[in-house]
Chain A
Amino acid sequence: MQEFLLIIRGGEDLGNASPQEMQQTLQHWQKWMGDLMASGNYIGGQNLESEGLTVLNSTTVTDRPLVEGKELVAGYILLRANSAAEAAEMTRGCPGLARGCTIEIRGIRQLHHP
């Protein structure tokens, strides 16, 4: 088993969504996250604020330049899986995928795991 970081990019454009549609989206996420947690493979995850800072060098700190929706990291999830392919399989039901998100999966390199 290895740990994987799932980087969820892109927002679902819910600027015009009705409260009802938001509620439905949330229910879909709860179902998916719930299943993931129940599987025992889930380690943790958080939503990230859409504004941030970028440190370019020791003297320059700028507002985060990536403001385009698709590039925006909406959140991350940490998982345990046997392979990246297996982790990818677990993202199948992620409600974000049907709503314009992409998910990048990166194995976390560990000392004992050359």
Chain B
Amino acid sequence: MSASSHIDQAVNHLFRQASGKMVAVLVKIFGPENYTLVEDVVQDALLSGLETWKFNGIPDNPEAWLFRVAKNKAIDIIRRKKHQYYIDFSSQEELPPAAGYTPADNFDQYWQDQAIRDDFLGMMFACCHPDISPENQVTFILKSLCGFSTREAARAFLTSEDTISKRLYRTKEFFRTNHIRPAIPPPAQLSGRLDAVLNSLYLLFNEGYSATQHEQLVREDIIAQAIYLCQSLLEHEHTRQPRTSALMALFCFHAARIRSRLQADGTIIPLSQQDRRQWDKALIASGNEWLNKAASGTTLSPFHLEAAIAYEHCMAPDYAATNWKMILSYYDALLQLTKDPVILLNRSVALLEYAGAPAALQSLEAVQHHRQLNRYYLYHAVLGEIYKRMNEKDKAVACFEQARQLTAAQQEQQFLTAKIADT
């Protein structure tokens, strides 16, 4: 099975997707302060679906079936008034203009395709409120919009269920105390808020892409979710911005290479030795399309440049043919946008290939006293590679050993051990 068909399969997760949409609509109806009620209604609807479909097969439009169940349960709750939930019908747009309104009429409006799409994005913006920490943002997105259980989210972030519960609790409390209503922000605020959402998706994708100690399925699952969420942003005219397309292009190029990055036993395969025939051509083609769509407007985002770099790698028939000059220029442009030392580190790899070891070493000298970088295993791994090329074996081995001490991931340690043996 190719990576893309696998990812398609993961994206076509009916229960998860329906769950995320139902959460978004019900949060609009009941308000985020009643999030626990929302989760109960969603769980109930999914269970009804499961029990009925087990015996009768899946209906033609299973999502609509689930929405109908959720809608009726919501109407029941309002009618019974068994719980004293605060329901906000004060907003003009939520009230139908015609007289003779019944809860059912009003509720139908919530379940129109366009309304569901808007609510889904609105919820994404609520989750990425700038006052919520990035890790809480991605955790809540996975839980609410991607239908991850606490246990699944814990596996995704390689942390305990306890930690995930705390993150979720903090976000729910934030919604409650600050009366956050999920909504697509008005045009004046859209740009900055969209940046926060895109950064959050970027983080989510990275979580799936770079955590090497994950099992393959969990990693591909997270990647698929990031792609799915980005796809939803691209389907809406307000969030379909060039930088959204650029992020999607970046996702596609990276996802295309995922299967060739690890051996069956989990060992890392460096880019230079990856079997490029395994790269997913369909995903690379989608990446190209999105990159073309991203090439409009006047702003150049970091996503544009990162996508352009990933594009160059995907296009090179082999490692030796990589257009390092072009890649270097993209890194230079990235450094203009952000002074991130990690970008400088990555740039030095391109420099090593393009201009040789002395030039790369010189560029890293500028950041040699950077404290965070000094604790980053990749910094020492890159230094080791530079020394190795300069035939300074002792220095190279010392760097690789330092790098090995700084990473907890077994695959990375194995990779570095092999490097040391090879030096």
Contact = CB atoms under 8 A, between A and B. Distances in A.
B362 to A, nearest CB: 50
Contacts of A30: 57-58
Interface stretch (B126-134, B146-154, B239-247): B146-154
A85 to B, nearest CB: 24
Interface in B157-190: none
Given A16-B149, A30-B57, A22 B52 contact: no
A14 B19 contact: no
A77 B365 CA distance: 74
Interface in A1-28: 14-23, 25-26
Nearest to A34: B57
A20 B17 CA distance: 10
Given A19-B16, A20-B13, A20-B15, A33 B55 contact: yes
A29 B54 contact: yes
Contacts of A14: 47, 50
B155 to A, nearest CB: 11
B46 interface: yes
A47 interface: yes
A74 B51 contact: yes
A18 B54 contact: no
B147 A18 contact: yes
A46 interface: yes
A93 interface: no
Contacts of A19: 13, 15-16, 18-19, 46, 147
Contacts of B58: 26, 30
B319 interface: no
A22 B152 contact: no
Interface in A22-81: 22-23, 25-26, 29-30, 33, 45-47, 74-75, 77
A34 to B, nearest CB: 9
Given A14-B50, A20-B15, A46 B147 contact: no
A15 B46 CA distance: 10
B55 A23 contact: no
Bin chain B's interface residue count. Answer: 20 to 34
B53 interface: yes
Contacts of B51: 47, 74-75
A75 B55 contact: yes
B43 interface: yes
B16 A46 contact: no
A15 B149 CA distance: 12
Interface string B91-109: 0000000000000000000
A17 B152 CA distance: 10
A22 to B, nearest CB: 5
A18 B147 CA distance: 7
B338 interface: no
Contact of B50 (A16, A25, A45): A25
B47 A47 contact: no
B50 A22 contact: yes
A46 B56 contact: yes
Contacts of A74: 51
A47 B53 CA distance: 8
What 10 A-B pairs come out closest when comparing CB atoms? A18-B149, A19-B15, A19-B147, A47-B55, A23-B15, A29-B54, A19-B19, A19-B16, A22-B50, A75-B55
21 contacts: A14-B47, A16-B149, A17-B149, A18-B148, A18-B152, A19-B46, A20-B13, A20-B149, A22-B15, A22-B46, A22-B49, A25-B50, A25-B54, A26-B15, A29-B53, A33-B54, A33-B55, A33-B57, A47-B51, A47-B54, A75-B51
